[in-house]
């Protein structure tokens, strides 16, 4: 039976609407797929993983993140969770992602080293955006209150100084200091830190050993750490210290965000022989090799001791430890000294899944 003109027009209109709906659906799917791919790339860029997925939220609408810090931040006790949560903030700063809030309400304990790495990230945020980073702080733990006040976090976060009397703490922290590659007199910070340490411990410490260790760390940063970094706003280093009055333990911590020791292993005559095996090593083995080679890529006589200068301060006390985190590895040496002789020593290399974003050196000695 032949269709009428009106029937054919209705059928043509129906097919047109159907094709239009299909095209709209395909367009939405393409847009959703593109959005999901962008979100996936951004999540990968910021370093989202199973350790921080519940504590950090990314908002594509305004390219921002909000972070709720975990209960404990301590590289020694829980490296991967600590490093992954601090990595989110570090990468947000480096890639221009807005940090809406940092929530400290869950935070109960934080080591000196973790505090210094967090302070360095907030400090760089302030340097880059020329403003204060606001933090959501609905509640404070007393230990965190003392640590934040003494290390200078109130100034970093743009918060007013607490008007209440601070609780007594067995650990006293020093406000962090920042240095920049290319400064005229970087050693002055090492001298000032030594004076402040002697004020809180109340005794003279091993001045030459501490100064040489800090000077070596600063020199390594200036000559090697940032060779592959073109952004001058990243070329900083940070240092702080803490003193436990109960067990007389002094900790000095140094951090930079350079390329790391594993990527700047010094040139050495023996290095050519181990080069074949080097690329199969973990980062901790590369740090250990740098310690053992005891030379620098400059081959200058005045700096020939290399990383061994970092060990001298730890070995100058009855009990000392040096721990070096760099990229994804950590290398630790522990010493017991009796009558100026090393009675026992132990070594511990270990590798992790998450990068610390540079090099972190921690000296720990019993006074």
Note whether residue 240 is domain-resident: yes
Distance CA 246, CA 201 (A): 11
Distance CA 320, CA 363 (A): 7
Q: Do 321 and 364 fall within a single domain?
A: yes
Q: Do 120 and 207 fall within a single domain?
A: no
Range of the domain at 140: 31-167
State how far the alpha carbon of 259 is from the alpha carbons of 235, 295, 360, in Å. 11, 18, 12
Q: Do 268 and 233 fall within a single domain?
A: yes
- Strand, coil or helix: 110: strand
CATH number, domain of 127, equals 3.30.750.24
Question: Domain end: 138, 167, 196, which one?
Answer: 167
Q: Do 319 and 202 fall within a single domain?
A: yes
Q: Scan for tokens 């990068």, then name that residue.
A: 355
Structure-token pair, residue 208: 């030459």
Residue 62's Cβ-count burial label (10 Å; 0-12, 13-18, 19+) is: exposed
Question: Domain end: 149, 167, 185, which one?
Answer: 167
Q: Do 159 and 176 fall within a single domain?
A: no
Helix axes 207-220, 308-315, angle to 10 degrees: 150
**Nearest by Cα to 278 from 297, 290, 295:** 290
Query: Along the 367 residues of the chain, how does pLDDT read in single tens digits?
Result: 555 667 777 888 888 888 888 788 777 777 766 656 676 687 888 888 888 888 888 888 888 889 999 999 999 999 999 999 999 999 998 888 888 888 888 899 999 999 999 999 999 888 887 666 766 655 677 888 888 889 988 888 877 777 666 667 788 999 999 988 877 777 788 888 888 888 888 877 777 788 788 888 887 787 777 877 776 667 899 999 999 988 999 999 999 998 888 887 654 455 545 555 556 678 898 888 888 765 444 444 344 345 777 788 888 888 889 999 999 999 999 988 877 777 777 888 899 999 999 999 999 998 8
Half-sphere exposure of 181 (CA within 13 A, CB side): 22
Question: Domain end: 167, 198, 224, which one?
Answer: 167
Check residue 270 and give its pLDDT: 54
Q: Do 131 and 184 fall within a single domain?
A: no
In angstroms, what is the C-alpha Rg of the chain?
Answer: 26
Task: Order across the sheet with 64-68: list the strands.
Answer: 56-59, 64-68, 98-103
Q: Do 155 and 174 fall within a single domain?
A: no
Check residue 230 and give its pLDDT: 72
Note whether residue 13 is domain-resident: no
Check residue 304 and give its pLDDT: 38
Q: Do 127 and 240 fall within a single domain?
A: no
Q: Do 209 and 326 fall within a single domain?
A: yes
Check residue 266 and give its pLDDT: 53
What residues does 351 pair with on adjacent strands? Answer: 329
Note whether residue 20 is domain-resident: no
Note whether residue 11 is domain-resident: no
Distance CA 267, CA 37 (A): 42
CATH number, domain of 270, equals 3.30.565.10
Q: Do 163 and 189 fall within a single domain?
A: no
Q: Do 181 and 303 fall within a single domain?
A: yes
Q: Where are the alpha helices (DSSP H) in 234-339?
A: 271-278, 283-293, 308-315
Check residue 2 and give its pLDDT: 52
Distance CA 323, CA 203 (A): 24
Note whether residue 255 is domain-resident: yes
Note whether residue 12 is domain-resident: no
Note whether residue 7 is domain-resident: no
What residues does 109 pair with on adjacent strands? Answer: 72
Count up the domains in the chain and report the number. Answer: 2
Q: Do 101 and 188 fall within a single domain?
A: no
**Nearest by Cα to 236 from 186, 290, 311, 174:** 186
């Amino acid at each position: 039976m032949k269709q009428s003109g009106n029937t054919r027009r209705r059928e043509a209109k129906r097919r047109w609407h159907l094709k239009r709906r299909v095209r709209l659906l395909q367009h939405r799917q393409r847009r959703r797929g593109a959005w999901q791919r962008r979100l996936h790339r951004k999540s990968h860029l910021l370093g989202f993983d199973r350790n921080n997925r519940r504590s950090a939220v990314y908002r594509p609408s305004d390219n921002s993140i909000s972070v709720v810090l975990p209960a404990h931040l301590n590289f020694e006790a829980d490296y991967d969770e600590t490093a992954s949560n601090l990595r989110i903030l570090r990468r947000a700063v480096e890639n221009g992602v807005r940090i809406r809030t940092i929530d400290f309400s869950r935070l109960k304990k934080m080591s000196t080293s973790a505090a210094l790495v967090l302070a360095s990230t907030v400090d760089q945020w302030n340097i880059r955006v020329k403003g204060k980073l606001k933090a959501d702080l609905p509640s404070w733990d007393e230990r965190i209150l003392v640590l934040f006040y003494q290390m200078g976090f109130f100034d970093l976060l743009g918060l007013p100084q607490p008007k209440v009397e601070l609780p007594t703490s067995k650990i006293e922290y020093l406000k962090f200091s920042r240095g920049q590659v290319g400064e005229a007199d970087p050693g002055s910070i090492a001298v000032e830190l030594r004076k402040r340490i002697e004020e809180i411990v109340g005794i003279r410490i091993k001045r030459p050993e501490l100064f040489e260790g800090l000077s070596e760390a600063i020199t390594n940063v200036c000559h090697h750490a940032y060779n592959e970094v073109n952004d001058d706003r990243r070329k900083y280093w940070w240092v702080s210290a803490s003193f436990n009055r109960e067990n007389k333990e002094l900790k000095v911590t140094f951090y930079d965000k350079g390329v790391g020791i594993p990527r700047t292993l010094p040139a050495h005559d023996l290095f050519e022989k181990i080069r074949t095996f080097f690329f199969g090593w973990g980062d901790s083995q590369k740090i250990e090799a740098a310690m053992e080679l005891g030379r620098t890529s400059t081959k200058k006589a005045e700096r020939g001791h290399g990383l061994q200068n970092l060990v001298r301060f730890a070995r100058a006390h009855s009990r000392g430890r040096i721990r070096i985190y760099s990229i994804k590895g950590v290398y630790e040496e522990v010493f017991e000294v009796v009558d100026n002789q090393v009675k026992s020593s132990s070594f511990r290399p270990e590798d992790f899944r998450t990068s610390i974003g540079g090099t972190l050196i921690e000296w720990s000695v019993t006074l």
